[in-house]
Amino acid sequence: MKTKILIVEDDKLVSFEIQSILNQNGFDSTICESYNCCIKNLDTFKPELILLDIDLSKKYEGIQIGSYLNSKSRIPFIYITGYTDSETLKRIQTTKPVGYLSKPFREVDIISNIELALYNKKSSLDNIGDHEVEEDSKYSKPIKRALEYIDTNINQEIKTDELIRVSGWSKFHFIREFAKEVGKTPYQYIFDEKMKLASSKLKNTYQTVKEIAFDLGYTSNSSFTNAFVKHSGISPSSFRKKYCR
What minimum distance in Å lies between the beta carbon of 149 and another protein? 33
What minimum distance in Å lies between the beta carbon of 83 and another protein? 5
From residue 64, alpha-carbon distances to 7, 59, 152, 165 in Å are 15, 10, 14, 29
Q: Enter the DSSP assignment of 59.
A: T
Name the residue nearer to another protein (CB basis): 36 or 219: 36
- Residues near another protein, by CB under 8 A: 11-14, 16-17, 20-21, 24, 55, 82-85, 102-105, 107
State residue 108 phi and psi, 5-degree precision.
-65, -30
Round to whole Å and give the CA distance between 214 and 208.
10
Report yes or no: 177 and 142 within 8 Å, Cβ to Cβ.
yes
Name the residue nearer to another protein (CB basis): 62 or 142: 62
What minimum distance in Å lies between the beta carbon of 97 and another protein? 18
Give the burial class of 56: count Cβ atoms within 10 A of its Cβ; 0-12 exposed, 13-18 middle, 19 or more buried: buried
Tally Cβ neighbours within 10 Å of residue 86: 7
Tally Cβ neighbours within 10 Å of residue 197: 19
What minimum distance in Å lies between the beta carbon of 31 and another protein? 12
Tally Cβ neighbours within 10 Å of residue 101: 20
Name the residue nearer to another protein (CB basis): 53 or 215: 53
Name the residue nearer to another protein (CB basis): 63 or 213: 63
Give the burial class of 155: count Cβ atoms within 10 A of its Cβ; 0-12 exposed, 13-18 middle, 19 or more buried: middle
Name the residue nearer to another protein (CB basis): 14 or 75: 14
What minimum distance in Å lies between the beta carbon of 20 and another protein? 4
Q: What is the C-alpha radius of gyration for the chain, rounded to an integer number of angstroms?
A: 19
Name the residue nearer to another protein (CB basis): 19 or 200: 19
What minimum distance in Å lies between the beta carbon of 12 and another protein? 5
Instruction: Give the rounded distance of the alpha carbon of 157 from its chain centre.
Output: 18
